[in-house]
Structure 1
Amino acid sequence: MSIEQRAVQVGEFTFDVRIGTPDDAPKAKGKKNAYLPTVLLLHGFPHNSDSYDDVVPRLLDAGLRTVVFDQRGYSPRARPEGVENYLVEHLVADVVGVLDALELPHVLLVGHDWGGLVAWHFAANYPQRLTGLVAVSTGHPSAITEALKSGEDQRKKSSYIPMFIAEGAEEKLLARDAVLLRRTVPADAIAPLREPGALTAALNWYRANFTGDIGAKLACGPVEVPTTMIWSDGDEALGRAQAEMSGRYVYSDFRFCELTGVDHWIPEKAAASVASEVSLRSSPF
Protein backbone atom coordinates (compact mmCIF):
# COMPACT_ATOMS: atom_id res chain seq x y z
CA MET A 1 0.00 0.00 0.00
CA SER A 2 1.07 3.59 -0.52
CA ILE A 3 0.12 6.91 1.06
CA GLU A 4 0.40 10.09 -1.00
CA GLN A 5 0.49 13.48 0.68
CA ARG A 6 -1.13 16.16 -1.42
CA ALA A 7 -2.01 19.84 -1.11
CA VAL A 8 -5.42 20.32 -2.71
CA GLN A 9 -6.58 23.76 -3.76
CA VAL A 10 -10.28 24.56 -3.32
CA GLY A 11 -10.97 28.18 -4.10
CA GLU A 12 -8.79 30.32 -1.86
CA PHE A 13 -8.00 27.48 0.52
CA THR A 14 -5.41 24.69 0.47
CA PHE A 15 -6.28 21.45 2.23
CA ASP A 16 -3.81 18.85 3.46
CA VAL A 17 -4.91 15.54 1.95
CA ARG A 18 -3.65 11.98 2.19
CA ILE A 19 -4.60 9.40 -0.43
CA GLY A 20 -4.07 5.73 0.33
CA THR A 21 -3.88 3.16 -2.47
CA PRO A 22 -3.84 -0.62 -1.93
CA ASP A 23 -0.99 -2.62 -3.43
CA ASP A 24 -3.21 -4.46 -5.91
CA ALA A 25 -4.99 -1.35 -7.20
CA PRO A 26 -5.97 -1.68 -10.88
CA LYS A 27 -4.10 0.43 -13.38
CA ALA A 28 -5.69 2.09 -16.38
CA LYS A 29 -3.35 3.43 -19.03
CA GLY A 30 -3.93 7.11 -19.71
CA LYS A 31 -6.54 7.45 -16.96
CA LYS A 32 -5.77 9.38 -13.83
CA ASN A 33 -8.40 7.58 -11.77
CA ALA A 34 -8.93 3.96 -12.73
CA TYR A 35 -12.08 2.64 -11.11
CA LEU A 36 -11.34 1.70 -7.55
CA PRO A 37 -13.81 1.80 -4.66
CA THR A 38 -12.89 4.90 -2.68
CA VAL A 39 -13.67 5.89 0.89
CA LEU A 40 -13.56 9.52 2.03
CA LEU A 41 -13.28 9.87 5.81
CA LEU A 42 -14.19 13.11 7.61
CA HIS A 43 -12.80 13.75 11.09
CA GLY A 44 -14.46 15.55 13.98
CA PHE A 45 -13.52 17.85 16.88
CA PRO A 46 -10.83 18.33 18.03
CA HIS A 47 -8.78 15.74 16.15
CA ASN A 48 -7.62 16.17 12.57
CA SER A 49 -7.53 13.37 9.99
CA ASP A 50 -4.93 11.52 12.10
CA SER A 51 -7.92 10.16 14.00
CA TYR A 52 -8.26 7.59 11.21
CA ASP A 53 -4.65 6.41 11.32
CA ASP A 54 -5.67 2.97 12.59
CA VAL A 55 -8.68 2.69 10.28
CA VAL A 56 -6.99 3.53 6.96
CA PRO A 57 -4.52 0.58 6.84
CA ARG A 58 -7.38 -1.84 7.44
CA LEU A 59 -9.39 -0.36 4.58
CA LEU A 60 -6.36 -0.52 2.29
CA ASP A 61 -5.89 -4.17 3.20
CA ALA A 62 -9.53 -4.68 2.18
CA GLY A 63 -8.73 -3.30 -1.29
CA LEU A 64 -10.28 0.15 -0.82
CA ARG A 65 -8.69 3.45 -1.75
CA THR A 66 -8.84 6.01 1.08
CA VAL A 67 -8.92 9.79 1.18
CA VAL A 68 -8.60 11.77 4.40
CA PHE A 69 -8.09 15.50 4.73
CA ASP A 70 -7.75 18.07 7.47
CA GLN A 71 -10.94 20.07 7.17
CA ARG A 72 -11.54 23.81 7.32
CA GLY A 73 -9.74 25.28 10.31
CA TYR A 74 -7.60 22.17 10.76
CA SER A 75 -5.55 22.62 7.57
CA PRO A 76 -3.35 25.67 8.36
CA ARG A 77 -3.88 27.12 4.87
CA ALA A 78 -7.65 26.75 5.14
CA ARG A 79 -8.19 28.63 8.39
CA PRO A 80 -10.28 31.74 7.70
CA GLU A 81 -11.14 34.21 10.42
CA GLY A 82 -14.75 34.95 11.22
CA VAL A 83 -17.29 32.61 12.77
CA GLU A 84 -19.60 32.82 9.75
CA ASN A 85 -16.99 31.05 7.64
CA TYR A 86 -17.65 27.82 9.56
CA LEU A 87 -21.34 27.37 8.83
CA VAL A 88 -22.11 23.79 7.82
CA GLU A 89 -22.89 24.86 4.24
CA HIS A 90 -19.25 25.94 3.81
CA LEU A 91 -17.95 22.71 5.35
CA VAL A 92 -20.04 20.69 2.89
CA ALA A 93 -18.81 22.84 -0.01
CA ASP A 94 -15.23 22.00 0.99
CA VAL A 95 -15.99 18.29 0.59
CA VAL A 96 -17.46 18.91 -2.85
CA GLY A 97 -14.37 20.91 -3.79
CA VAL A 98 -11.93 18.22 -2.65
CA LEU A 99 -13.80 15.51 -4.55
CA ASP A 100 -13.86 17.65 -7.68
CA ALA A 101 -10.16 18.50 -7.39
CA LEU A 102 -9.32 14.80 -7.07
CA GLU A 103 -11.65 13.94 -9.96
CA LEU A 104 -13.64 11.52 -7.83
CA PRO A 105 -17.22 11.30 -9.14
CA HIS A 106 -18.46 9.24 -6.19
CA VAL A 107 -17.20 7.80 -2.91
CA LEU A 108 -18.34 5.97 0.18
CA LEU A 109 -18.48 8.71 2.82
CA VAL A 110 -17.52 8.20 6.47
CA GLY A 111 -17.89 10.88 9.13
CA HIS A 112 -17.26 10.90 12.88
CA ASP A 113 -18.43 13.55 15.36
CA TRP A 114 -18.56 16.88 13.46
CA GLY A 115 -17.42 15.00 10.37
CA GLY A 116 -20.59 12.96 10.75
CA LEU A 117 -22.74 16.08 10.79
CA VAL A 118 -21.06 17.28 7.59
CA ALA A 119 -21.47 13.81 6.06
CA TRP A 120 -25.23 13.73 6.71
CA HIS A 121 -25.67 17.13 5.07
CA PHE A 122 -23.53 16.08 2.13
CA ALA A 123 -25.53 12.88 1.69
CA ALA A 124 -28.82 14.76 1.77
CA ASN A 125 -27.69 17.28 -0.84
CA TYR A 126 -25.36 15.27 -3.09
CA PRO A 127 -26.63 11.66 -3.10
CA GLN A 128 -25.38 11.21 -6.68
CA ARG A 129 -21.81 11.57 -5.39
CA LEU A 130 -22.13 8.69 -2.89
CA THR A 131 -22.22 4.92 -2.99
CA GLY A 132 -23.07 4.89 0.71
CA LEU A 133 -22.73 6.61 4.06
CA VAL A 134 -21.25 5.47 7.37
CA ALA A 135 -22.02 7.87 10.22
CA VAL A 136 -19.99 7.32 13.38
CA SER A 137 -21.42 8.58 16.70
CA THR A 138 -23.32 11.48 15.13
CA GLY A 139 -26.89 10.83 14.05
CA HIS A 140 -28.94 12.62 11.41
CA PRO A 141 -29.22 16.34 12.36
CA SER A 142 -33.01 16.11 12.58
CA ALA A 143 -32.67 13.14 14.94
CA ILE A 144 -30.28 15.15 17.12
CA THR A 145 -32.71 18.07 17.22
CA GLU A 146 -35.54 15.70 18.10
CA ALA A 147 -33.50 14.06 20.86
CA LEU A 148 -32.61 17.44 22.35
CA LYS A 149 -36.27 18.44 22.47
CA SER A 150 -37.67 15.19 23.79
CA GLY A 151 -35.04 13.69 26.06
CA GLU A 152 -33.11 14.76 29.14
CA ASP A 153 -30.27 12.38 28.24
CA GLN A 154 -29.16 14.24 25.11
CA ARG A 155 -29.57 17.65 26.75
CA LYS A 156 -27.27 16.48 29.54
CA LYS A 157 -24.74 15.07 27.12
CA SER A 158 -24.73 18.36 25.17
CA SER A 159 -24.28 20.54 28.27
CA TYR A 160 -20.60 21.12 27.42
CA ILE A 161 -21.45 23.15 24.30
CA PRO A 162 -22.08 26.52 26.05
CA MET A 163 -18.51 26.41 27.37
CA PHE A 164 -17.16 25.79 23.87
CA ILE A 165 -18.99 28.74 22.32
CA ALA A 166 -18.28 31.17 25.16
CA GLU A 167 -15.86 34.05 24.74
CA GLY A 168 -12.43 33.11 26.03
CA ALA A 169 -13.04 29.37 25.70
CA GLU A 170 -9.65 28.94 24.03
CA GLU A 171 -7.74 30.20 27.06
CA LYS A 172 -9.75 28.06 29.48
CA LEU A 173 -9.33 24.90 27.41
CA LEU A 174 -5.57 25.34 26.99
CA ALA A 175 -4.90 26.53 30.54
CA ARG A 176 -2.80 24.37 32.88
CA ASP A 177 -1.38 22.33 30.03
CA ALA A 178 -4.84 21.86 28.48
CA VAL A 179 -6.11 19.91 31.49
CA LEU A 180 -9.78 20.34 30.49
CA LEU A 181 -9.17 18.95 27.02
CA ARG A 182 -6.97 16.14 28.28
CA ARG A 183 -9.81 14.87 30.46
CA THR A 184 -11.94 14.00 27.46
CA VAL A 185 -10.06 14.00 24.13
CA PRO A 186 -7.25 11.80 22.73
CA ALA A 187 -3.87 13.06 23.93
CA ASP A 188 -2.39 13.31 20.42
CA ALA A 189 -5.11 15.77 19.41
CA ILE A 190 -3.76 18.48 21.71
CA ALA A 191 -0.52 19.53 19.99
CA PRO A 192 -2.07 20.67 16.66
CA LEU A 193 -4.56 22.81 18.61
CA ARG A 194 -1.68 24.88 19.98
CA GLU A 195 -0.90 26.24 16.51
CA PRO A 196 -1.87 29.91 16.06
CA GLY A 197 -5.60 30.17 15.47
CA ALA A 198 -6.17 26.40 15.40
CA LEU A 199 -8.34 26.03 18.50
CA THR A 200 -10.33 29.15 17.64
CA ALA A 201 -11.06 27.72 14.21
CA ALA A 202 -12.11 24.37 15.69
CA LEU A 203 -14.42 26.05 18.21
CA ASN A 204 -15.88 28.22 15.45
CA TRP A 205 -17.61 25.10 14.10
CA TYR A 206 -19.66 25.19 17.33
CA ARG A 207 -20.05 28.96 17.40
CA ALA A 208 -21.30 29.12 13.81
CA ASN A 209 -23.81 26.28 14.04
CA PHE A 210 -24.88 26.09 17.71
CA THR A 211 -25.91 29.70 18.26
CA GLY A 212 -29.03 31.52 17.10
CA ASP A 213 -31.65 29.43 15.33
CA ILE A 214 -29.92 26.07 15.70
CA GLY A 215 -32.81 24.15 14.20
CA ALA A 216 -32.66 26.19 11.00
CA LYS A 217 -28.89 26.00 10.76
CA LEU A 218 -28.80 22.25 11.19
CA ALA A 219 -31.93 21.53 9.14
CA CYS A 220 -31.19 18.59 6.87
CA GLY A 221 -33.31 16.68 4.41
CA PRO A 222 -33.69 12.92 4.29
CA VAL A 223 -30.88 10.73 3.03
CA GLU A 224 -31.53 8.40 0.11
CA VAL A 225 -28.31 6.37 0.08
CA PRO A 226 -27.53 3.10 1.91
CA THR A 227 -26.46 4.11 5.41
CA THR A 228 -24.77 2.56 8.43
CA MET A 229 -25.01 4.23 11.84
CA ILE A 230 -22.26 3.25 14.29
CA TRP A 231 -22.88 4.24 17.91
CA SER A 232 -21.13 3.25 21.15
CA ASP A 233 -22.84 2.78 24.49
CA GLY A 234 -20.06 4.64 26.31
CA ASP A 235 -20.48 7.85 24.27
CA GLU A 236 -20.37 10.85 26.60
CA ALA A 237 -21.56 13.37 23.99
CA LEU A 238 -24.20 11.64 21.86
CA GLY A 239 -26.96 9.41 23.17
CA ARG A 240 -28.74 6.33 21.90
CA ALA A 241 -31.94 8.16 20.92
CA GLN A 242 -30.34 10.37 18.27
CA ALA A 243 -28.53 7.37 16.81
CA GLU A 244 -31.51 5.03 16.64
CA MET A 245 -33.92 7.72 15.41
CA SER A 246 -31.62 8.44 12.46
CA GLY A 247 -33.22 5.53 10.64
CA ARG A 248 -36.40 7.60 10.31
CA TYR A 249 -34.52 9.98 8.02
CA VAL A 250 -32.89 7.37 5.77
CA TYR A 251 -35.02 6.41 2.77
CA SER A 252 -32.77 3.51 1.85
CA ASP A 253 -31.14 0.52 3.52
CA PHE A 254 -30.29 1.44 7.13
CA ARG A 255 -28.09 -0.55 9.47
CA PHE A 256 -27.64 0.33 13.16
CA CYS A 257 -24.42 -0.95 14.72
CA GLU A 258 -23.96 -0.64 18.48
CA LEU A 259 -20.50 -1.03 20.02
CA THR A 260 -20.32 -1.98 23.68
CA GLY A 261 -17.72 -0.72 26.12
CA VAL A 262 -16.42 1.99 23.75
CA ASP A 263 -16.46 5.74 24.41
CA HIS A 264 -17.01 8.59 21.94
CA TRP A 265 -13.64 8.20 20.22
CA ILE A 266 -14.64 5.27 18.07
CA PRO A 267 -12.12 5.64 15.19
CA GLU A 268 -9.25 5.61 17.69
CA LYS A 269 -10.66 3.06 20.16
CA ALA A 270 -12.48 0.68 17.80
CA ALA A 271 -10.70 1.03 14.46
CA ALA A 272 -11.26 -2.60 13.50
CA SER A 273 -15.02 -2.27 14.00
CA VAL A 274 -15.17 0.91 11.92
CA ALA A 275 -13.15 -0.67 9.12
CA SER A 276 -15.35 -3.77 9.19
CA GLU A 277 -18.56 -1.77 8.89
CA VAL A 278 -17.11 0.42 6.14
CA SER A 279 -15.95 -2.64 4.20
CA LEU A 280 -19.36 -4.24 4.61
CA ARG A 281 -21.11 -1.10 3.36
CA SER A 282 -18.72 -0.89 0.39
CA SER A 283 -19.59 -4.39 -0.81
CA PRO A 284 -22.25 -4.63 -3.52
CA PHE A 285 -23.40 -7.99 -2.11
Structure 2
Amino acid sequence: MEQLQVAAGNGTCTVRVDGPESRHAVLLLPGVGDPADVYDDVCTRLHNSDLRTYAVESVDGLGEGSLLGLLDELKLAWVNLVGSREGADLAWLLAARTFGRFASLVVADSGHPAVVGSRGAKVVSDCPAVELPTTLMIGKSTTRACADESGRRVFADFRVVELDGIDNVPAQAGHEMATEIVLRTSSW
Protein backbone atom coordinates (compact mmCIF):
# COMPACT_ATOMS: atom_id res chain seq x y z
CA MET A 1 0.00 0.00 0.00
CA GLU A 2 1.37 3.38 -1.01
CA GLN A 3 1.06 6.25 1.49
CA LEU A 4 0.79 9.71 -0.01
CA GLN A 5 0.99 13.05 1.77
CA VAL A 6 -1.62 15.15 0.00
CA ALA A 7 -2.38 18.85 0.39
CA ALA A 8 -5.78 19.29 2.02
CA GLY A 9 -6.98 22.67 3.22
CA ASN A 10 -4.30 24.42 5.28
CA GLY A 11 -2.23 21.29 5.79
CA THR A 12 -1.65 17.80 4.51
CA CYS A 13 -3.22 14.45 5.16
CA THR A 14 -2.07 10.90 4.60
CA VAL A 15 -3.93 8.84 2.04
CA ARG A 16 -3.35 5.11 1.64
CA VAL A 17 -3.59 4.20 -2.05
CA ASP A 18 -3.75 0.66 -3.38
CA GLY A 19 -5.47 -1.61 -5.86
CA PRO A 20 -5.35 -2.09 -9.60
CA GLU A 21 -5.21 0.85 -11.96
CA SER A 22 -8.87 1.17 -12.76
CA ARG A 23 -11.48 3.67 -13.87
CA HIS A 24 -13.30 2.82 -10.63
CA ALA A 25 -12.02 4.67 -7.56
CA VAL A 26 -13.31 4.54 -3.99
CA LEU A 27 -12.60 7.29 -1.44
CA LEU A 28 -12.88 6.01 2.15
CA LEU A 29 -13.31 8.36 5.13
CA PRO A 30 -12.86 6.93 8.67
CA GLY A 31 -14.48 7.90 11.93
CA VAL A 32 -12.59 10.07 14.41
CA GLY A 33 -10.22 7.92 16.46
CA ASP A 34 -10.22 5.00 14.01
CA PRO A 35 -6.78 3.48 13.40
CA ALA A 36 -5.11 4.25 10.06
CA ASP A 37 -5.66 0.66 8.92
CA VAL A 38 -9.40 0.52 9.72
CA TYR A 39 -10.28 0.03 6.04
CA ASP A 40 -7.50 -2.47 5.18
CA ASP A 41 -9.80 -5.52 5.15
CA VAL A 42 -12.40 -3.64 3.10
CA CYS A 43 -9.73 -2.44 0.64
CA THR A 44 -8.27 -5.92 0.13
CA ARG A 45 -11.70 -7.18 -0.87
CA LEU A 46 -12.31 -4.18 -3.14
CA HIS A 47 -9.02 -4.75 -4.97
CA ASN A 48 -10.25 -8.24 -5.88
CA SER A 49 -13.22 -6.52 -7.54
CA ASP A 50 -10.96 -4.30 -9.69
CA LEU A 51 -11.45 -1.18 -7.57
CA ARG A 52 -8.68 1.27 -6.68
CA THR A 53 -8.92 2.58 -3.12
CA TYR A 54 -7.95 5.90 -1.54
CA ALA A 55 -8.27 5.60 2.24
CA VAL A 56 -7.83 8.83 4.20
CA GLU A 57 -6.07 8.01 7.48
CA SER A 58 -7.79 10.70 9.55
CA VAL A 59 -10.63 13.16 8.98
CA ASP A 60 -9.53 15.41 11.86
CA GLY A 61 -9.51 18.99 10.59
CA LEU A 62 -10.95 18.11 7.18
CA GLY A 63 -14.04 19.74 5.72
CA GLU A 64 -15.92 19.68 2.46
CA GLY A 65 -13.59 22.16 0.72
CA SER A 66 -10.41 20.43 1.82
CA LEU A 67 -11.74 17.04 0.68
CA LEU A 68 -12.63 18.44 -2.74
CA GLY A 69 -9.10 19.88 -2.89
CA LEU A 70 -7.74 16.47 -1.93
CA LEU A 71 -9.66 14.87 -4.83
CA ASP A 72 -8.19 17.48 -7.17
CA GLU A 73 -4.66 16.78 -5.87
CA LEU A 74 -5.20 13.06 -6.45
CA LYS A 75 -6.61 13.84 -9.93
CA LEU A 76 -9.84 12.01 -9.14
CA ALA A 77 -12.71 13.50 -11.08
CA TRP A 78 -15.26 10.75 -10.34
CA VAL A 79 -15.29 8.53 -7.24
CA ASN A 80 -17.50 6.30 -5.15
CA LEU A 81 -17.73 7.83 -1.68
CA VAL A 82 -17.59 5.81 1.55
CA GLY A 83 -17.59 6.99 5.17
CA SER A 84 -18.01 5.74 8.70
CA ARG A 85 -19.37 7.81 11.63
CA GLU A 86 -17.74 11.29 11.38
CA GLY A 87 -16.33 10.33 7.97
CA ALA A 88 -19.90 9.45 6.98
CA ASP A 89 -21.07 12.90 8.11
CA LEU A 90 -18.53 14.43 5.71
CA ALA A 91 -19.49 11.99 2.96
CA TRP A 92 -23.20 12.88 3.27
CA LEU A 93 -22.37 16.61 3.08
CA LEU A 94 -20.11 16.17 0.06
CA ALA A 95 -22.68 14.03 -1.75
CA ALA A 96 -25.49 16.47 -0.99
CA ARG A 97 -23.65 19.65 -1.91
CA THR A 98 -21.39 18.61 -4.79
CA PHE A 99 -22.74 17.71 -8.20
CA GLY A 100 -20.85 15.57 -10.69
CA ARG A 101 -17.96 14.24 -8.56
CA PHE A 102 -19.50 11.16 -6.98
CA ALA A 103 -21.01 8.01 -8.45
CA SER A 104 -22.40 6.47 -5.27
CA LEU A 105 -22.49 6.81 -1.49
CA VAL A 106 -22.03 4.11 1.17
CA VAL A 107 -22.16 5.31 4.78
CA ALA A 108 -22.02 3.54 8.12
CA ASP A 109 -23.46 4.50 11.49
CA SER A 110 -24.46 8.03 10.56
CA GLY A 111 -27.75 9.13 9.07
CA HIS A 112 -28.35 12.11 6.80
CA PRO A 113 -27.03 15.29 8.51
CA ALA A 114 -30.50 16.93 8.57
CA VAL A 115 -31.96 14.00 10.54
CA VAL A 116 -31.75 13.65 14.31
CA GLY A 117 -29.35 10.74 14.69
CA SER A 118 -27.66 8.63 17.32
CA ARG A 119 -25.91 11.70 18.75
CA GLY A 120 -29.34 13.17 19.58
CA ALA A 121 -29.04 16.15 17.24
CA LYS A 122 -28.85 17.14 13.61
CA VAL A 123 -25.33 17.58 12.25
CA VAL A 124 -26.36 20.21 9.68
CA SER A 125 -30.05 21.08 9.69
CA ASP A 126 -30.06 22.72 6.24
CA CYS A 127 -28.27 19.90 4.40
CA PRO A 128 -29.96 19.23 1.05
CA ALA A 129 -31.06 15.81 -0.15
CA VAL A 130 -28.59 13.44 -1.77
CA GLU A 131 -29.19 12.53 -5.40
CA LEU A 132 -26.93 9.47 -5.60
CA PRO A 133 -27.52 5.76 -5.16
CA THR A 134 -26.97 5.42 -1.40
CA THR A 135 -26.52 2.61 1.10
CA LEU A 136 -26.73 3.25 4.84
CA MET A 137 -25.25 0.50 7.02
CA ILE A 138 -26.41 0.55 10.63
CA GLY A 139 -25.15 -1.28 13.68
CA LYS A 140 -26.51 -1.07 17.17
CA SER A 141 -25.36 2.56 17.60
CA THR A 142 -27.80 3.93 14.98
CA THR A 143 -31.54 3.49 15.15
CA ARG A 144 -33.75 2.24 12.38
CA ALA A 145 -35.92 5.36 12.70
CA CYS A 146 -32.91 7.52 11.81
CA ALA A 147 -32.21 5.28 8.81
CA ASP A 148 -35.82 5.46 7.62
CA GLU A 149 -35.88 9.24 7.96
CA SER A 150 -32.55 9.44 6.07
CA GLY A 151 -34.18 7.56 3.20
CA ARG A 152 -36.60 10.45 2.79
CA ARG A 153 -33.59 12.66 2.10
CA VAL A 154 -32.19 10.54 -0.73
CA PHE A 155 -33.65 11.20 -4.17
CA ALA A 156 -32.20 8.03 -5.74
CA ASP A 157 -32.02 4.34 -4.95
CA PHE A 158 -31.69 3.92 -1.17
CA ARG A 159 -30.83 0.78 0.76
CA VAL A 160 -30.49 0.13 4.50
CA VAL A 161 -28.32 -2.74 5.72
CA GLU A 162 -28.85 -3.69 9.37
CA LEU A 163 -25.98 -5.36 11.21
CA ASP A 164 -26.95 -6.37 14.73
CA GLY A 165 -24.36 -5.82 17.43
CA ILE A 166 -21.78 -4.02 15.30
CA ASP A 167 -20.12 -0.95 16.85
CA ASN A 168 -17.70 -0.12 14.03
CA VAL A 169 -18.73 -1.36 10.57
CA PRO A 170 -15.37 -1.17 8.72
CA ALA A 171 -13.52 -2.80 11.64
CA GLN A 172 -16.06 -5.49 12.51
CA ALA A 173 -17.97 -6.09 9.27
CA GLY A 174 -15.45 -5.38 6.54
CA HIS A 175 -16.73 -8.10 4.23
CA GLU A 176 -20.30 -6.76 4.43
CA MET A 177 -19.10 -3.22 3.79
CA ALA A 178 -16.98 -4.31 0.81
CA THR A 179 -19.98 -6.13 -0.65
CA GLU A 180 -22.16 -3.02 -0.39
CA ILE A 181 -19.46 -0.87 -2.01
CA VAL A 182 -19.07 -3.33 -4.89
CA LEU A 183 -22.84 -3.39 -5.39
CA ARG A 184 -22.89 0.42 -5.57
CA THR A 185 -19.97 0.60 -8.02
CA SER A 186 -21.55 -1.86 -10.45
CA SER A 187 -23.61 -0.49 -13.31
CA TRP A 188 -26.04 -3.41 -13.23
TM-score over 0.5 for the pair: yes
Q: 2:68 aligns with which of 96, 101, 114?
A: 96
Show the counterpart of 2:182: 279
Do 2:113 and 2:124's aligned partners in 1 also have CA atoms closer than 8 Å?
Answer: no
What's the TM-score, normalizing by structure 2? 0.92
1:21 and 2:19 aligned: yes
Higher strand share: 2
1:258 and 2:162 aligned: yes
Q: 1:103 to 1:219 in 2, by over 3 A?
A: same
Corresponding letter in the other structure for 1:7: Q
- Looking at structure 2, the residues matched to 269 and 123 of structure 1 have their Cα atoms a distance apart, in angstroms, of 25
Matched residue pairs, number? 188
1:132 and 2:104 aligned: yes
Corresponding letter in the other structure for 1:259: L
Show structure 1 runs of 4+ deviating over 4 A. 214-218
Corresponding letter in the other structure for 1:51: V
Deviations 1:48-75 (A, max 9, x none): 44211211100011110000112343xx
Higher helix share: 1
Corresponding letter in the other structure for 1:250: V
What's the TM-score, normalizing by structure 1? 0.62
- Looking at structure 1, the residues matched to 106 and 123 of structure 2 have their Cα atoms a distance apart, in angstroms, of 24
Do 2:28 and 2:55's aligned partners in 1 also have CA atoms closer than 8 Å?
Answer: yes
- Looking at structure 2, the residues matched to 142 and 215 of structure 1 have their Cα atoms a distance apart, in angstroms, of 5
In the TM superposition, residue 215 of structure 1 has moved relative to its aligned partner by 5.0
Higher RCO (CA < 8 A, seq sep 6+): 1
Q: Equivalent pairs: percent with the same residue?
A: 36
Q: 1:246 aligns with which of 150, 155, 172?
A: 150
Q: Which blocks of at least 5 consecutive residues in structure 1 are unaligned?
A: 26-34, 74-85, 148-153, 160-213
Deviations 1:156-178 (A, max 9, x none): xx37xxxxxxxxxxxxxxxxxxx
- Looking at structure 2, the residues matched to 11 and 136 of structure 1 have their Cα atoms a distance apart, in angstroms, of 25
Corresponding letter in the other structure for 2:55: V
SS of equivalent to 1:54: helix
Corresponding letter in the other structure for 1:228: T
1:226 and 2:129 aligned: no
Q: 1:100 to 1:255 in 2, by over 3 A?
A: same
Root-mean-square deviation (CA, aligned residues, Å) is 1.9
